[in-house]
Amino acid sequence: MRVSPNNFTFTFLFKSCQSCDDFDTGRELHTHVVKFGFGANVFVQNTVLDFYSKCSENVGSAFKVFEEMDERDVVSWNSMVCAYINHGEMRLSIELFKSMEERNAVSWNLVISGLAKRGEMESARLLFDEMITWNAVMKNARLGLDNEVAWNAMISGYTRNGDVENARLIFNQMPVKSVVSTTAMISGYAKVGDVVEMNNLFNSMPVKNVITWNAMIAGFVQNHKFDQALEVFHRMLMCGECKPDETTLLSVLSACTHLGAHEQGKWIQSYIQKRDIEISTPLGNALIDMFAKCGDLESAMSIFNQMSKKCIITCTSMVAGLAFNGQCKEALALFDEMCMERIQPDDVIFIAALSACTHGGLVEEGKRVFTMKKEGIEKVPGSSSIQVENKVHEFLVRDTKHENRMEIFETLDSLYDQLKTIGIMEKRDYVHLGMPKFAGWKEIFCLISKQLLHTAEAKKFVTKKTAYGKHQSRMLIKSLEDKFTEDVGTSRSMTDVCLSSSTFSTRCSAKE
């Protein structure tokens, strides 16, 4: 028995694709929507539109669906507004919003929240005031007053910008002050260092959730009021309404670390164990840092060995802890072990390792670590690539594997000599296999295409090269256009040149 899909079938399938970020399957599913005759179903089309707005790399796909819809409702318009916002097109989203004949709370929430998140508070405030006026005219005044999302978006937007005065004005105008809005104000006061007002607001709250407690504890930690942070944590435990989560414990461990409160830290470790809380990487890092700075290396190493997933911060905390407590050789041994496990070190762990050498008087080891820092470990090699037909030829620094490498290097040396005569290149040094390094960047590989193609009549290829320096790149492209046209016989058209501070791409087409 064959069962045909209905509109709910496609809704669930698109939601599944959206949750998995599976754009290709969703696009294929769109063809079945048309095939089964749901192309004019506004319910299904809204789901398709929502999918494209959140999963597509550009807004074009969503707009095409919106434009082709025979029937649109307020959900359709909201989805398209959301698509513009998701892709950073705030101007277009506002233009579309203002052209809507019917708006609901979601419509206002989308544009006000979008502007507030981008820090465009003047525009957000104008729309916010317009929302209240609009709803009063439409005899739906309660929508403007009770639309908590818009109010909270305004408060959060102002506090992110450090403007607690305007945030407080909005907060004071709220008909009903929710836990979310009060917590946002607490975070705002913490950000500007006003712990007195932060504390007053917190104490005035009849109901608090775990996020409120976390905001309060983190606020005291941010403002170096570590004793008060621990006091709030104790109040949280005594209250019993909310259980501490990982965010709570991270803030409390930070306070213990700064105070050197070893006993408090041990209690928190015991609390984690008794409640079977999984030691995540951030939580493990915080415990290691706290124990190491309190001088309890045994507990720090125990946590380090228990952790199933370690990151560079984990290793840095342990290396720095060992060095801080005088176990310099052990710190260097751990650093070397980390390097052997191919964890890429960063500047911070190099400083920790050098600190271990300093405290331990390990001069030779210090020289070795400094050399590793200077030369870099497993540095990602620079590369150049050229696509000919359907085959991509890639060249890495120290590459010796390409079958045409000797011909290519000879061509490059010849090219260097020719470009040097016209003042484009200044030869600084040679890298491996005689490949010249030109003023900090290598040449564009379209000039070696004839070596790959074995013909002067190149068809079509794309080159992409990591480079630095816009001005030099443009000079080189101009010179190569002239030279390449002469030597290989291309049409003089290096188009689609895209230059930035780090990369440029050149698409070249040649006549047959």
Q: How does pLDDT run along the chain (512 residues), one tens digit per residue? A: 566 777 677 777 877 777 777 777 877 777 777 777 777 778 888 888 888 888 888 888 888 888 888 888 899 999 999 999 988 899 999 999 999 988 888 999 999 999 999 999 999 999 999 888 876 666 554 454 457 889 999 999 999 999 999 999 999 998 888 999 999 999 999 999 999 999 999 999 999 999 999 999 999 999 999 999 999 999 999 988 899 999 999 999 999 999 999 999 999 999 999 998 889 999 999 999 999 999 999 999 999 999 988 888 999 999 999 998 989 999 999 998 888 877 788 888 899 999 889 888 888 888 888 888 877 654 444 455 555 555 566 655 545 556 666 666 666 666 666 666 655 554 433 333 333 333 333 344 444 444 444 444 443 333 333 333 444 445 555 555 555 444 433 333 333 333 333 333 333 333 33
C-alpha distances out from residue 57 to 76, 238, 388, 459, 507, Å: 20, 49, 27, 30, 22
pLDDT, position 17: 79
Task: Look at residue 391 and give its three-state secondary structure.
Answer: strand
pTM: 0.65
Ramachandran bin of 417, using left for φ above 0, alpha for ψ from -120 to 50, beta for the remaining angles? alpha
CA dist., res. 47 & res. 26, Å (int): 11
Burial of residue 31, with CB atoms counted within 10 A of its CB: 0-12 exposed, 13-18 middle, 19 or more buried:
exposed
CA dist., res. 466 & res. 503, Å (int): 5
pLDDT, position 477: 53
Could you tell me the two tokens for 208? Answer: 């608090």
For the segment(s) 208-309, the CATH number from 1.25.40, 3.30.450, 3.40.50, 3.10.10 is 1.25.40
Which residue is it, tokens 């929240």?
Answer: 113
H or E segment and range at residue 453? helix 449-453
C-alpha distances out from residue 149 to 109, 142, 181, Å: 6, 14, 9
- Condensed to tens digits (0 to 9), the pLDDT of residues 347-401 reads 888 999 998 898 888 888 888 888 888 776 544 444 555 555 555 666 555 455 5
The full set of domain ranges for the chain reads: 208-309, 386-426
CA dist., res. 12 & res. 47, Å (int): 9
Burial of residue 233, with CB atoms counted within 10 A of its CB: 0-12 exposed, 13-18 middle, 19 or more buried:
buried
pLDDT, position 120: 92
CA dist., res. 273 & res. 438, Å (int): 59
Q: Specify the amino acid at residue 293.
A: K
Q: Which residues pair with 295 in a beta bridge?
A: none
- Condensed to tens digits (0 to 9), the pLDDT of residues 187-203 reads 999 999 999 999 999 99
Fill in the DSSP letter of residue 394.
E
CA dist., res. 252 & res. 237, Å (int): 12
Upper half-sphere CA count for residue 252 (Cβ side, 13 Å): 26
Greatest pairwise CA separation for the chain in angstroms: 83
Could you tell me the two tokens for 348? Answer: 């911070």
Cβ atoms within 10 Å of 433's Cβ, excluding its own: 12
pLDDT, position 68: 84
CA-nearest of 15, 35, 17 to 25 is 17
pLDDT, position 25: 82
CA-nearest of 156, 109, 146, 141 to 128 is 109
H or E segment and range at residue 71? none
CA dist., res. 356 & res. 61, Å (int): 56
Ramachandran bin of 391, using left for φ above 0, alpha for ψ from -120 to 50, beta for the remaining angles? beta
Q: Specify the amino acid at residue 366.
A: G
CA dihedral (183, 189, 191, 193) positive or negative: negative
Contact between 67 and 44 under an 8 Å Cβ cutoff? The reply is no
DSSP calls for 356-386: HHHHHT-HHHHHHHHHHHHH-SSPPPPEEEE
CA dist., res. 36 & res. 5, Å (int): 8
CA-nearest of 19, 23, 43, 24 to 33 is 43
CA dist., res. 353 & res. 332, Å (int): 6
Could you tell me the two tokens for 459? Answer: 């068809």
pLDDT, position 438: 38
CA dist., res. 348 & res. 273, Å (int): 30
